[in-house]
Amino acid sequence: MDIFRFLPGYETLIYDTGREPAFIMMLSFVIIFILTRGYTRIARVRGWGSASFGGVHTHHLVFGLVIAFSAGGLEFGFTPDPGGYFFLPLVAAFGCGVALVLDEFALVFHLQDVYWEKEGRKSIDAIIVGLALGSLLLLQFTPFETNFNEAGLTIAANVAINLPVVIITALKGKIYYAVFGVFMPALALIGAIRLAKPDSVWARRFYKSNSKKMERAEIRHEKYENRWRDRKERAWDCIGGKIGRPQQ
């Protein structure tokens, strides 16, 4: 549809290269996240209430799920022409829904309202990962060959070799390495080789409580925390707001 043709370079860099759907999705994702976090931060200061139905507090991830599922269902159900008028609105709706869900990802993970608690920082992690993966899609960066007629064995080999490494990395508590390792196998390999985080599934399963590996893992984790904790907290405060329950 070439919506933003008035922007310099848009037609050449985005539309002509087939990146417009990914661009629209990312644009809606970023806008809705900024608006949502902005509203919740203002609401916390001013003591505004939240939406509720039948006296039940309704988190915005519920609206996000409905929007994302509806957009996906309509696209699969009616298979609109990528050049049609309904395609990009559905893409934008999907991006909006995903932003609303990821902004409250920690609530899904913990199954309780931890939006303004320390555990709620997982939502910021999820947003950062979603933004990075969306950017990779926008750049059309894929882990496999694009010529699938000739690359079937290559794809199968990549999946067979890299997927176990990605899983090990995730079990070691290195989520960023695992996610980006899907696209860049070298990162997954680095995460799989390095020591696991002491509170990870891998450490609890394979490191004995008083073993040298667990001791080294704890020392390394503490060293990392001391070096980056304050910087990360300041960055996350800037993105999502400081930890603390809202005013009643």
Question: b/e per residue, 145-157, with b = 16+ CB within 10 A?
Answer: eeeeeeeeeeeee
Q: Which of 9-18, 24-33, 70-79 has the highest mean pLDDT?
A: 24-33
Average pLDDT of the chain is: 85
pLDDT at 135 over 80: yes
Sketch the domain layout of the chain as residue ranges.
1-141
Q: Which two tokens stand for residue 69?
A: 């599922």
56 forms beta bridges with 53
- pLDDT at 145 exceeding the cut of 70: no
User: What digits encode the pLDDT tens for the residues 61-97?
Assistant: 999 999 999 998 888 877 656 566 788 899 999 999 9
**Residue linked to tokens 């970023």:** 30
228 or 126, greater pLDDT: 126
- Residue 132 · residue 177 · CB < 8 Å: no
| % of the chain at pLDDT higher than 70 | 88
The model's pTM is 0.81
Q: Which helix (H) or strand (E) holds 87?
A: helix 87-102
In SS3 terms, 35-65 reads as HHHHHHHHHHHHCCCCCEECCEECCHHHHHH
Given this model, what pLDDT does residue 148 score? 47
